[in-house]
């Protein structure tokens, strides 16, 4: 099988991989934010706060995942 | 005579339940609250009541609110400029796809920036209870620190209020000095620092 290294690793493909990697790191980061929000909600209980912040953190994760799959399809 | 309308009376059990839990009298964004109801922390004892709830004045958030606003506006300004000056850089389908993804990612990062800064302000609280002083620090997204000392270990309490803006909005730094090798507590930029100092001072006098 003839595999040309230069053709296989096109610059666009490389940029796409790097972009997906960065968004992947962001997804990990958004999970860390969610874990921290959950921990702070257990440490300090304020009216409605834990629920609202958890919801925002989940929305952040969903948006990050959507962007990752969106980028995977679009790019 | 039969009653046409009878007002609903609350169930006795539910009244007791509400009394125990304490219906919240506190605004969720309050920075200074005396005898807050509906607020509790993890290591709170059963008979321990929260006397004072403090966090930094809301005006201290102004710097990151302005930064966020600028960050939100920047891509819009670039888009307007590119359309006004007829820049055809984004007209290429491949580039427009990448641009779409990067712009969405950029706004996601801005969203996180706003959320984290808000959490940083929201969860940096200073609580004075009937028995203890509790300082909850949420200094970074992966770091949180909780310091506690008993009221009878508190030796002195004072505050500083310097500068034009702190004087205008009546906020300052509160310092609680403890005995021996225990750490000293600091509540930065809290509203009404003089009143807070008096409240803690009275509590030290009582114990």
Please give the ipTM for the structure prediction: 0.87
Tokens 């972009």 -> residue = A19
pLDDT at position B91 over 80: no
Three-state secondary-structure class, residue B177: strand
Task: Please report the residues numbered 86 through 145 in chain B whose beta carbons come closer than 8 angstroms to any beta carbon of chain A.
Answer: 94, 97-98, 100-102, 104-105, 108-109, 111-112, 115-116, 119, 122-123, 125, 136, 138, 141-142, 144
pLDDT at position B206 over 70: no
In angstroms, the CA B104 to CA B84 distance is: 22
Q: pLDDT tens digits for B106-146?
A: 999 999 999 999 999 999 999 999 999 999 988 777 777 78
The β-bridge partners of B32 are B54
Name the average pLDDT for chain B.
84
Q: Please report which confidence band the pLDDT of residue A7 belongs to, taking 50, 70 and 90 as the band edges.
A: low
Distance set, CA A58 to CA A27, A35, B192 (Å): 11, 10, 36
Asked if residues A34 and B115 have their Cβ atoms less than 8 Å apart, the reply is: no
pLDDT at position B1 over 70: no
How many Cβ atoms sit within 10 Å of the Cβ of residue B189? Answer: 23
A47 → closest Cβ in B24, B94, B98 = B24
φ, ψ of residue B28 to 5 degrees: the values are -60, -25
pLDDT at position A38 over 70: yes
In angstroms, the CA B90 to CA B82 distance is: 9
Question: Is A28 part of the contact surface with chain B (CB cutoff 8 Å)?
Answer: no
This prediction's pTM: 0.84
Among chain B residues, the shortest Cα distance to A12 is held by B94
pLDDT at position B96 over 80: yes
Contacts with B116 from chain A: Cβ below 8 Å: 33
Tokens 């609350």 -> residue = B10
What percentage of residues in chain B have a pLDDT greater than 90? 49
A-B contacts (CB, under 8 Å): 84
Q: Looking at residues A40-45, what average pLDDT do you find? A: 89
Smallest CA–CA separation between B164 and chain A, in Å? 32
Contacts with A48 from chain B: Cβ below 8 Å: 28
pLDDT at position A30 over 50: yes
B151: its two tokens: 């009221």
Question: Is B175 part of the contact surface with chain A (CB cutoff 8 Å)?
Answer: no
Q: Please report which confidence band the pLDDT of residue B11 belongs to, taking 50, 70 and 90 as the band edges.
A: very low
- Return the higher-pLDDT residue of A33 and B140: A33
pLDDT of residue B19: 39
**Which of A73, A38, A74, A72 shows the shortest CA–CA distance to A55?**
A38
Smallest CA–CA separation between A41 and chain B, in Å? 9
Task: Please report the residues numbered 54 through 73 in chain A whose beta carbons come closer than 8 angstroms to any beta carbon of chain B.
Answer: 56-57, 60, 63-64, 67, 70-71
């Amino acid at each position: 099988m003839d595999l040309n290294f230069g053709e296989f690793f096109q610059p666009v493909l490389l940029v796409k991989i790097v972009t997906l990697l960065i968004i992947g790191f962001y997804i990990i980061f958004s999970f860390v934010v969610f874990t921290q929000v959950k921990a702070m909600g257990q440490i300090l209980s304020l009216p409605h706060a834990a629920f609202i912040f958890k919801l925002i953190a989940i929305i952040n994760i969903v948006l990050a995942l959507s962007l990752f799959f969106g980028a995977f399809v679009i790019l | 005579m039969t009653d046409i309308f009878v007002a609903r009376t609350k169930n006795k059990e539910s009244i007791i339940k509400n009394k125990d839990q304490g219906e919240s009298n506190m605004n969720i964004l309050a920075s200074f609250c005396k005898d807050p109801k509906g607020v509790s922390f993890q290591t709170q004892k059963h008979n321990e009541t929260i006397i004072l709830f403090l966090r930094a004045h809301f005006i201290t958030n102004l710097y990151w609110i302005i930064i966020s606003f600028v960050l939100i506006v920047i891509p819009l300004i670039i888009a307007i400029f590119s359309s006004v000056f007829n820049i055809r850089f984004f007209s290429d389908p491949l580039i427009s796809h990448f641009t779409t993804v990067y712009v969405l990612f950029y706004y996601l990062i801005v969203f996180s920036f706003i959320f984290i800064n808000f959490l940083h302000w929201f969860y940096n609280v200073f609580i004075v209870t009937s028995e203890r002083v509790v300082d909850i620090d949420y200094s970074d997204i992966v770091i949180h620190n909780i310091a506690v000392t008993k009221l009878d270990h508190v030796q002195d309490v004072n505050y500083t209020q310097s500068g034009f803006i702190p004087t205008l909005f009546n906020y300052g730094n509160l310092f609680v000095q403890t005995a021996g090798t225990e750490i000293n507590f600091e509540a930065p930029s809290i509203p009404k620092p003089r009143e807070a100092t008096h409240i803690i001072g009275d509590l030290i006098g009582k114990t």
